[in-house]
Amino acid sequence: MTDQTWEKFPNVFTPALKKRVSKEWAAYFTEFELAKPLLFGKRVGCLWYQMALGVTSSRETYTPAYDATNLSRDMDFMISTIEHQYQTERNTPGYVRLCFHDLYYRNVAARMREQAILPLEGPISLRDMMAAYQNYAEVNNRSWRSDSALDDPAMICAWAGRPDLVEECLTWGLDLIASFNEKSRARSPIDPDAWVAKIRLLTSDPERLRQITRDRVVLHKLTKIPYQDFSDAAYKEAP
C-alpha cells in the first residue's frame, strides 16, 4: 500500500476554502486578477475576460469556465458571451469534486489553459477576439441568437477604431445568418437587412461606445483590474 501524496479536502466549501482554492488556481493564471473568491479576470479593450470556478448548489464540486462580456453595451448588467466550460479528455463537460481538489486541480488548470477562448498571456488582437466569437457562434448555433455573440465583434472593432474590421464582422454575420435561415427554414428566420441596420447604428459612434465602457468599468468595480489594449487597435485607452 502506497502513502497518499495528496491532501484530501473537506467535502463542502467554506469561505476559507474558497480563498485557498482561488490562491492555488491563481498560480496558473498570472495575468488575471482575483476579482473575488473563485473569479479571475482582466480587461482587454472594452472586453471583460474572466475565468470562474462555479460552485454547484451542493457546495461539494466546482466547474471551471471562461466567458467574456462586451462592456460597450449600454446595460447595467453583464451579458456573458463565448462561454466555455472545462472539457475533460473525453470532450465532455467536467467538474472538480472539492474533496479531491489537491489531486486533480493542477491537471484541470493545465487543460483550462489549453482550452482558453482567448490568449491568457501576452498580446490579444482584435482578430483573436473575432476568431473566438466566430468559433463560439458556429459551434453553439443553438444559443448565439439569444445573447450578443453575433453583434459584439463589430461593436468591439468600432470601439477599437477599426471600421475595416467592422465591415469584416458584418460580412461574417451575414454569412452566419444566411446559414441559420437556410437550416431553420420557416422557424423564426432573421432579417439580414434589419440586422445590418442595427449594427450600423450600434457602431456609428465609437466615442459613445468608449464612454459606455468607462461608465460600466466603474459600475462593476473593475477599475483596479489589469488592463491591456488590443494589439491591433487603432484606438488606445489609457488604463
pTM, two decimal places: 0.91
Residue 63 has pLDDT above 80, yes or no: yes
Helix boundaries (H) for the chain? 15-26, 101-114, 126-139, 152-159, 163-184, 192-202, 206-219
3-state secondary structure of 220: coil
Overall average pLDDT of the 75-83 stretch: 85
What is the band of 223 on the pLDDT scale with cuts at 50, 70, 90?
A: very high
Q: Is the pLDDT of residue 163 over 80?
A: yes
Please tell me the predicted confidence (pLDDT) of residue 55: 96
Q: What end-to-end distance do the CA atoms of the chain give, in Å?
A: 56
Q: What is the CA radius of gyration of the chain?
A: 20
